[in-house]
């Protein structure tokens, strides 16, 4: 009987509720929230001022250009939502009150104007079939078809597909990062509303907010990451950006809403150190890589960079481990979970998942670089023997 009740609750929580945003429109609120969010991002990303950053040179020597106005878009959105909440137009706990409902609606969302129903599966199928039909010879749009439909649908056909002038890959990852912050802010407001704001919640919220804001401050660094320059856009990236990032990276916040954790002063200080060290390694490594790609002669830690074969940076963090940025990312993920204590493994889902993902990705990176750089890569491996964590892995 208990399992039937739990399944009934889950089914009810996952179904979009028909609470109208206004009497004239019988539209599920979760659908309206998502449609409004995506529409805002498309408009703001296109019209707000921002630095126009050239991407990494593609195989055909062309470059895409990215308007990096994510920080302005995010701050404006949070400001508008704050004003809307103050005027009673939007509930600050609208997201936290409908977590599972929004999760399911991310798969199936409606556009109010054309009444067109699209889901994640359809989007990625559209990407697959449009990619197959592409006649483009350019690196960003040239179709890469393996002949295995599942493989091509999962990993994608095209490197940088566009829709109405919008780079979909850049758009989706921006939506995921902003969605993560909006979920967290709604969870924070829910904890304040319930009178349950704790030191653990404050630390979690602070670390995540700093990480996300830093991401958008340095958004141009995203243009030289693996996702942008090497991964094709298929179901894996679309699902990862729109569903996985915002809804699983915020598990700690959801958990703290329902569980009380008392942190000692020592544990709080240690947690801050883990965050700061992780941030220093993560941001420092990514900045060094980005600057090296822009200017291979730029000094690293005040010294001329050591370069292997004229192509691979072996100075700074990149002289310590071949994927040292992954170490910083893992420490940051751990710092998001430590405020939850150690009474449950649930809040540690994110760092555990990230560890598995980054080891898998590191192995893919190694194979790709070995094929691309050959003898240069072998020399680099001898010079920098550690993969992620020196003297361990």
Q: Which of 110-114, 230-234, 293-297, 360-364 has the highest mean pLDDT?
A: 360-364
Bridge partners of residue 117, in order along the sequence: 110
Percent of the chain with pLDDT over 90: 39
Gyration radius of the chain over CA positions: 22
Bridge partners of residue 312, in order along the sequence: 308
pLDDT computed for residue 248 by the predictor: 87
Q: Looking at the predicted structure, is the pLDDT value of residue 79 above 70?
A: yes
Find, among 112, 149, 111, the residue nearest to 127 by Cα. Answer: 149
pLDDT tens for 162-179 read: 777 888 888 888 999 999
pLDDT computed for residue 12 by the predictor: 43
Q: Looking at the predicted structure, is the pLDDT value of residue 368 above 90?
A: no
Scan for tokens 């094929």, then name that residue: 371
Cα 50 to Cα 84, 175, 266, 376, distances in angstroms? 25, 17, 42, 37
Tell me how far apart the alpha carbons of residues 238 and 156 are, in angstroms, rounded to a whole number.
Answer: 10
pLDDT computed for residue 106 by the predictor: 63
Q: Looking at the predicted structure, is the pLDDT value of residue 133 above 90?
A: no
What does the block give as tokens for 213?
């804001």
Tell me how far apart the alpha carbons of residues 209 and 202 are, in angstroms, rounded to a whole number.
Answer: 10
What phi-psi label fits residue 156: left (phi over 0), alpha (psi between -120 and 50 degrees) or beta? Answer: left
Task: Look up the pTM and report it.
Answer: 0.80
Q: Looking at the predicted structure, is the pLDDT value of residue 117 above 80?
A: no
Say which residues have a Cβ less than 8 Å from residue 164's Cβ, sequence separation at least 6: 42
Give 284 or 311, the one with higher predicted confidence. Answer: 284
pLDDT computed for residue 25 by the predictor: 40
Find, among 183, 34, 11, the residue nearest to 97 by Cα. Answer: 183
pLDDT computed for residue 22 by the predictor: 38
Q: Looking at the predicted structure, is the pLDDT value of residue 114 above 90?
A: no
pLDDT computed for residue 274 by the predictor: 97
Find, among 264, 273, 243, the residue nearest to 120 by Cα. Answer: 243
pLDDT grade for 110, boundaries at 50, 70 and 90: very low
Q: Looking at the predicted structure, is the pLDDT value of residue 57 above 80?
A: no
Longest dimension (CA), the chain: 69
pLDDT computed for residue 356 by the predictor: 93
Q: Looking at the predicted structure, is the pLDDT value of residue 32 above 90?
A: no
């Amino acid at each position: 009987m208990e399992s039937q009740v739990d399944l009934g609750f889950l089914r009810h929580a996952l179904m979009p509720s028909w609470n109208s945003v206004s009497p004239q429109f019988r539209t599920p609120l979760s659908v309206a929230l998502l449609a409004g969010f995506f529409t805002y991002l498309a408009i703001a990303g296109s019209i707000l001022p921002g630095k126009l950053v050239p991407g990494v040179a593609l195989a055909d020597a062309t470059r895409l250009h990215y308007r990096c106005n994510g920080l302005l878009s995010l701050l404006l959105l949070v400001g508008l939502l704050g004003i809307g909440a103050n005027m009673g137009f939007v509930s600050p706990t609208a997201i936290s009150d409908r977590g599972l409902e929004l999760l399911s609606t991310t798969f199936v969302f409606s556009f109010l104007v054309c009444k067109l129903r699209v889901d994640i599966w359809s989007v990625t199928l559209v990407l697959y079939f449009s990619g197959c039909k592409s006649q483009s010879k350019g690196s960003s749009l040239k179709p890469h078809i393996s002949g295995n439909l599942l493989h091509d649908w999962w990993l994608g056909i095209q490197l940088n597909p566009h829709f109405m002038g919008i780079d979909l890959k850049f758009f989706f990852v921006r939506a995921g990062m902003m969605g993560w912050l909006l979920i967290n802010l709604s969870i924070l407001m829910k904890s304040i509303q319930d009178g349950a704001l704790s030191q653990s919640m404050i630390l979690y919220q602070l670390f995540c907010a700093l990480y996300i804001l830093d991401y958008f401050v340095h958004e141009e660094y995203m243009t030289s990451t693996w996702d942008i320059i090497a991964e094709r856009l298929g179901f894996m990236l679309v699902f990862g950006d729109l569903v996985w990032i915002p809804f699983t990276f915020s598990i700690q916040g959801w958990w703290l809403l329902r569980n009380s954790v008392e942190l000692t002063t020592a544990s709080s200080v240690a947690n801050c150190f883990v965050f700061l060290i992780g941030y220093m390694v993560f941001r420092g490594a990514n900045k060094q890589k980005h600057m090296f790609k822009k200017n291979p002669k730029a000094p690293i830690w005040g010294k001329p960079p050591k370069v292997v074969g004229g192509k691979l940076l072996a100075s700074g963090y990149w002289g310590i481990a071949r994927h040292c940025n992954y170490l910083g990312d893992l420490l940051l993920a751990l710092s998001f979970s430590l405020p939850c204590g150690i009474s449950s493994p649930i809040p540690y889902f994110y760092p555990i998942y990230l560890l598995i993902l980054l080891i898998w990705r590191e192995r893919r990176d190694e194979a790709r670089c070995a094929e691309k750089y050959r003898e240069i890569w072998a020399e680099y491996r001898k010079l920098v023997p550690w993969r992620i964590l020196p003297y361990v892995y």
